[in-house]
């Protein structure tokens, strides 16, 4: 009998181990309905699913998809990367109804930030989503940052902290768990971790006084999850990026406040493991094992690798690491337990009263965030304009699918408005003078509206804008990135974001038209 008992125990242990390995994964998939393999793995222990823009057609379809997942596993965590602003999955093809963090930071009204986050959370919850990989708590201390920018509330740690806390509170009051990111802070980087491994040279004192301030506020506000960053901070760990570093996750994020840590006891989620900072250096299997061993509880994967093979590779790598003694079984069990604990929280939170709808809050915030600078009186646009969109390469977090700019909103107010797109490639091919000559020939006698993003980061854009303003000083300029450069234009408008509602607010300001309650427009004196 003894060998039989031992055999049953080992089978049970193996099954538990496999279920725990599946439980810590947050994979993606393709399509707008759940594939059979995903439903099958949910039955075997997979506890989370990540959704991306490719999975979303409209709210009704999304609600049907999440219902399909819950029919297989009632307590599944359904996660999405919905920051509002530039990074939207719910409105990936039309542009966001929410202006994004930088706009909220520019207004600096924490009550407004809380209301915006609550409404965003309400919409997510209505679609069956209960975990949001947001907000970004990064302090945008490096103006050259190619991946954070308007995703940050700003460059002041205290401002970022108070808005991060308000956002966490608002989102979670709607029953959606917040996942504050990118710990311990991605703001002081000039490298995008989607492409390479960024190094942050700041010493520990600077990190404590700058990067960590918003994360402390998020923990104090009760954020249910924190997302790690694939960044190397030699002050913490000279060898491994934060996602794979016990010093960063266990030693700093989990450590008690009395020991200089943040005392966080919720779910630690990794940033996407297929990002080059991890996949090109460690590989996703090895990286996932190191992440769980370092203190992470959930592996985010699926932005680029969205198939069953990826799930099985990571599951098997974790199981193998336990068998080989590289990963303590207790650590994997603890990680899985934290996933299940968050699932229980979302079910109890969603059982409460739903948030009251506030459908216009995003546009109201975008209008308040707008800053208009003019040397003197300027003529509002009253006839069709010509929009020159100086378009930088979109970073991967934003993607190419999401529209931005003012042309569509301006054309709605002034039918007949046309637009042209100028890129680094077209500027390099033609040169600034020829580029602007062609643009002005196409514009004819129409007023020109130049739309730029982060003009301070793109010399080709700055050169083209300088040439345009020298020739046509009555050009209106709309900066939809971080307004770091001195304002120029007649007028200059800073929207602090490129969401659809930011474009609408800018179009209203350019035309002097604001909507009445009936939906028509009137001129603002």
- Provide the 10 A C-beta neighbour count for residue 459: 11
Cα–Cα–Cα angle for 491, 496, 500, nearest 5°?
Answer: 95
- Output the six-digit token pair for 521: 């427009």
Burial of 63 from C-beta contacts in 10 A (0-12 / 13-18 / 19+) = middle
Distance, CA of 27 to CA of 155 (rounded, Å): 33
Using the structure block, give the residue that is written with the tokens 């409404």: 119
Q: How far apart are CA 139 and CA 155, in angstroms?
A: 5
Eight-class DSSP state of 253: I
In 3D space, the residue among 127, 38, 37 whose CA is nearest the CA of residue 82 turns out to be 127
- Collapsed DSSP state (helix, strand, coil) of residue 160: helix
The catalytic site residues sit at 194, 271
Query: Which residues, including other chains, have CB under 8 Å from residue 315's CB and lie 6 or more apart?
Result: 18, 21, 22, 25
Eight-class DSSP state of 215: H
Asked if residue 376 has a cis previous peptide bond (ω within 30° of 0), the answer is no
Report the distance separating Cα 439 and Cα 260, nearest Å: 57
Query: Which among 51, 43, 35 has a CA at the least distance from the CA of 73?
Result: 43
Residue of 136, 250, 234, 237 whose CA lies nearest to 183 = 136
Place of tokens 């993003």: 453
Take residue 128 and report the two structure tokens written for it.
């069956």
Cα gap 162→171, rounded to integer Å: 14
* Type and span of the H or E element at 412: helix 407-413
- The per-residue DSSP string of 383-444 comes to S--EEEEE-PPPPTTT-SSS--SSHHHHHHHSTT-EEEEE-HHHHHHH-HHHHHHHHHHHHT
């Amino acid at each position: 009998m003894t060998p039989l008992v031992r055999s049953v125990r080992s089978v049970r242990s193996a099954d538990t181990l496999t279920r725990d390995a599946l439980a810590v994964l947050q994979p993606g998939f393709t399509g707008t309905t759940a594939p059979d393999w995903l439903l099958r793995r949910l039955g075997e222990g997979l506890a989370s699913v990540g959704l991306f823009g490719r999975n979303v057609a409209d709210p009704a379809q999304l609600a049907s998809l999440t219902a399909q997942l819950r029919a297989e596993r009632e307590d599944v965590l359904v996660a999405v990367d919905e920051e509002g602003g530039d990074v939207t999955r719910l409105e990936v093809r039309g542009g966001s109804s929410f202006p994004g963090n930088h706009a909220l930071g520019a207004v600096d009204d924490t009550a407004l930030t809380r209301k915006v986050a609550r409404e965003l959370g309400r919409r997510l919850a209505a679609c069956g989503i209960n975990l949001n990989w947001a907000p970004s708590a990064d302090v945008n201390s490096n103006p050259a940052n190619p991946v954070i920018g308007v995703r940050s509330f700003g460059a002041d740690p205290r401002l970022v902290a108070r808005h991060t806390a308000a956002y966490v509170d608002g989102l979670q009051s709607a029953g959606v768990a917040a996942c504050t990111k990118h710990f311990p802070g991605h703001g002081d980087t000039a490298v995008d971790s989607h492409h390479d491994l960024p190094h942050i040279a700041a010493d520990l004192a600077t990190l404590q006084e700058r990067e960590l301030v918003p994360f402390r506020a998020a923990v104090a506000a009760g954020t249910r999850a924190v997302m790690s960053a694939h960044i190397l901070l030699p002050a913490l760990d000279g060898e491994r990026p934060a996602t794979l570093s016990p010093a960063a996750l266990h030693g700093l994020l989990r450590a008690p406040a009395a020991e200089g840590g943040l005392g966080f006891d919720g779910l630690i989620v990794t940033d996407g493991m297929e990002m080059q900072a991890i996949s090109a250096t460690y590989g996703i299997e090895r990286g996932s094992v190191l992440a769980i061993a370092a203190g992470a509880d959930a592996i985010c994967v699926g932005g680029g690798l969205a198939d069953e093979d990826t799930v099985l590779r990571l599951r098997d790598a974790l199981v193998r690491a336990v068998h080989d003694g590289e990963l303590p079984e207790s650590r994997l069990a603890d990680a899985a337990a934290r996933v299940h604990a968050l699932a229980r929280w979302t079910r109890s939170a969603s059982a409460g009263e739903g948030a009251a709808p506030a459908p216009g809050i995003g546009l109201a915030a975008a209008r308040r965030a707008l800053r208009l600078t003019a040397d003197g009186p300027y003529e509002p646009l009253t006839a069709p304009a010509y929009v020159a969109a100086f378009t930088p390469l979109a970073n991967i977090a934003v993607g190419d699918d999401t529209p931005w700019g003012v042309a569509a909103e301006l054309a709605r107010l002034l039918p007949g408005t046309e637009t042209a797109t100028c890129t680094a490639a077209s500027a390099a091919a033609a040169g600034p003078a020829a580029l602007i000559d062609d643009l002005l020939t196409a514009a004819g006698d129409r007023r020109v509206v130049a739309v730029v993003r982060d003009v301070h980061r793109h010399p080709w854009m700055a050169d083209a804008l300088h040439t345009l303003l020298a020739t046509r000083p009555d050009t209106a300029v709309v900066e939809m990135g971080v307004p770091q450069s001195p304002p120029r234009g007649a007028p200059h408008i800073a929207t602090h974001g490129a969401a659809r509602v930011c474009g609408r607010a800018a179009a209203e300001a350019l035309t002097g038209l604001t909507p009445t309650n009936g939906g028509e427009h009137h001129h603002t004196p």
